[in-house]
Structure 1
Amino acid sequence: MKLASYFFRLCFLALSFYTLVGFTQEAPKDQVGTWTQLVGTHQIANNWSIPTVGILRQYNYAESVEFGFLRVGANYKLNSNTYIGAGVAFLDHHPFEKVNSLEQKGQFWLYQEMGWKHSKKFAQRFRLEHRWKHSGTTHTFGPRLRHRLQFTQAVDASTYVKVSNEHFLELNEFKIMQNRFFIGLGKKITPNLCLELGYLKNHVGKENYDRLRFSLYFKTKLYKDKQNKVAQQEEKATSQ
């Protein structure tokens, strides 16, 4: 049986497990929730691209939204293995402890990051975030440094396993306040479209949350390559 069949069977089993857990657990923060993200890379020049990320986290059998997030920026490729980037992000968060309340917490970020690949399997990313947070009438500022180490292993030409771990260092208190561990399976649908499904364990302070993460990655090209254009013109000229 092809690996693609195993992949989609895994998706079905994960959804079934999530449905069962959603009915059997009561406390919202203890439920296995979903983490759905749409990640785009939009190429605007040979070395420039615009990353876009949208995230929706849910619980209570995917009926209640806990967290909404949007990020956009600009990345510059220094070489084939290294890039730098900067951008902005917005998020809204509904606290677990006040399920029936309309109170929401929000944040606005400015960030800078740098990422590089050590090989086809290992990659790292550092990100510095300047976060303005508000909750009701309270406004605070909290800078944070993040580091992610990621391992990717190809299973076949279109299927791969991904494992990553990311630490969050709060610079105001200079201590690690959050950690995200992910393990999952990815499937390349086309060269520019990829689907991932996996398990995310998110530690925040003394709390920890279990999430099934669904990710759709896509790429677009918003410019014409000058070299290809010249080659096409030369080919057209020689054929006349």
Structure 2
Amino acid sequence: MKIYLFLIIIFLFSLSQIKAQNTKQYQFGSWYEITASTKISDKFGFFGSLTSWNYKLPAENSHLLLAIVGVKYQLNPKTSVGLGYAYGDIDSSFEENDTPNIKEHRILEQLVFNHKLNKIKLSQRFRLEQRFLEYETENLLKHRLRYRFKGKIPINNTLFVSIYDEIHFYLNQFDFQQNRIFGGLGVSLNKNMSAEFGYARHSFKTKSYDRLSVQLNLKFNSRKKQKQ
């Protein structure tokens, strides 16, 4: 009961932050992502992703290009921890100008809980990030906490509905930074590959972006088969 109360509070806070924002909107943009994970043993595995945000469709005026690699350890069938590194190139200006982009080196730690509610697959991810940001005139270190709640609702053996909400706080002053909401349709292409297509709303304190989201998910099993 406590965890559900916590989730409700987080969700309501997210909505209040979005409603309080400036309503100035920009053109519909895009959010493309490839995720990959592999198991090398019953306990250890690797994960990674490549993300591209763009202010305009289909892939014009880049907002962010981010690459993540990491290692994970399975504590039990439902819980895992992970450690990773990310490199990002960020253009937060929206305008197409010659202002240098922000370069980012990021260290991340995460805790993931997976569970089921009947046939619905639920996932909770807590992630801590140390963001080393290189601006044109200065370098900054910002600590960020992220919480993501995701649901996967099967329609049949091939199709599913995917939804999630992820809220971000800066820990330096425990200040709201952004929120991401996604809803869409997924398709299982085979046992190692799935794709998701939908709508994402990316909300900051003073502005929000509506984006077409396309995601390709790859899963591999590199564990050696035991001899019979």
Q: Name the CA distance, whole Å, in 2 between partners of 1:158 and 1:77.
A: 27
Q: Name the CA distance, whole Å, in 1 between partners of 2:91 and 2:206.
A: 18
Instruction: Work out which structure has the larger RCO, using CA pairs closer than 8 Å and 6 or more positions apart in sequence.
Output: 2
Q: Which residue identity is paired with 1:225?
A: K
How do 1:58-73 and structure 2 match up within 5 A? 58-61=54-57, 62-73=59-70
Q: CA deviation at 1:98?
A: 4.1
SS at match of 1:202: strand
Distance 1:152 1:97, change over 3 A: closer
Q: Name the CA distance, whole Å, in 1 between partners of 2:36 and 2:95.
A: 33
Q: Name the CA distance, whole Å, in 1 between partners of 2:139 and 2:171.
A: 17
Counterpart position of 2:128 = 128
Q: Residue 46 of structure 1 is aligned with which of 42, 56, 77?
A: 42
How do 1:167-178 and structure 2 match up within 5 A? 167-178=167-178
Q: CA deviation at 1:89?
A: 0.5
Q: Residue 109 of structure 2 is aligned with which of 109, 112, 133?
A: 112
Q: CA deviation at 1:219?
A: 1.4
SS at match of 1:150: strand
- Number of matched residues? 201
Structure 1 length-normalised TM: 0.80
Identity %: 28
Which structure has the greater CA radius of gyration?
1
Q: Which residue identity is paired with 1:202?
A: H
Counterpart position of 1:79 = 76
Q: Which residue identity is paired with 1:40?
A: A
Counterpart position of 1:186 = 186
Instruction: Indicate yes or no: 2:154 matched with 1:154.
Output: yes
Q: Which residue identity is paired with 1:122?
A: L
Larger fraction in helix? 1
How do 1:8-23 and structure 2 match up within 5 A? none
Flag as ranges the 4+ runs of structure 1 deviating above 3 A: none
Counterpart position of 2:53 = 57
The answer as to whether partners of 2:30 and 2:56 remain within 8 angstroms in 1 is: no
Q: Name the CA distance, whole Å, in 2 between partners of 1:113 and 1:79.
A: 15
CA distances 1:159-215 after superposition (whole Å, capped 9, x unpaired): 110111111011012122110011011000001000110111111121111111100
Q: CA deviation at 1:121?
A: 2.5
SS at match of 2:76: coil
SS at match of 1:199: strand
Q: Name the CA distance, whole Å, in 2 between partners of 1:40 and 1:164.
A: 18
Q: Which residue identity is paired with 1:95?
A: S
Unaligned runs of 5+ in 2: 1-24
Q: Name the CA distance, whole Å, in 2 between partners of 1:137 and 1:31.
A: 30
Q: Which residue identity is paired with 2:67?
A: L
Q: CA deviation at 1:97?
A: 4.5
Distance 1:138 1:98, change over 3 A: farther
Structure 2 length-normalised TM: 0.84
SS at match of 1:146: strand
SS at match of 1:113: strand
Q: Name the CA distance, whole Å, in 2 between partners of 1:98 and 1:186.
A: 33
Q: Residue 93 of structure 1 is aligned with which of 90, 95, 104?
A: 90
The answer as to whether partners of 2:74 and 2:81 remain within 8 angstroms in 1 is: yes
Q: Name the CA distance, whole Å, in 1 between partners of 2:63 and 2:136.
A: 17
Unaligned runs of 5+ in 1: 1-28, 232-240
The answer as to whether partners of 2:55 and 2:94 remain within 8 angstroms in 1 is: no
Q: CA deviation at 1:137?
A: 2.4
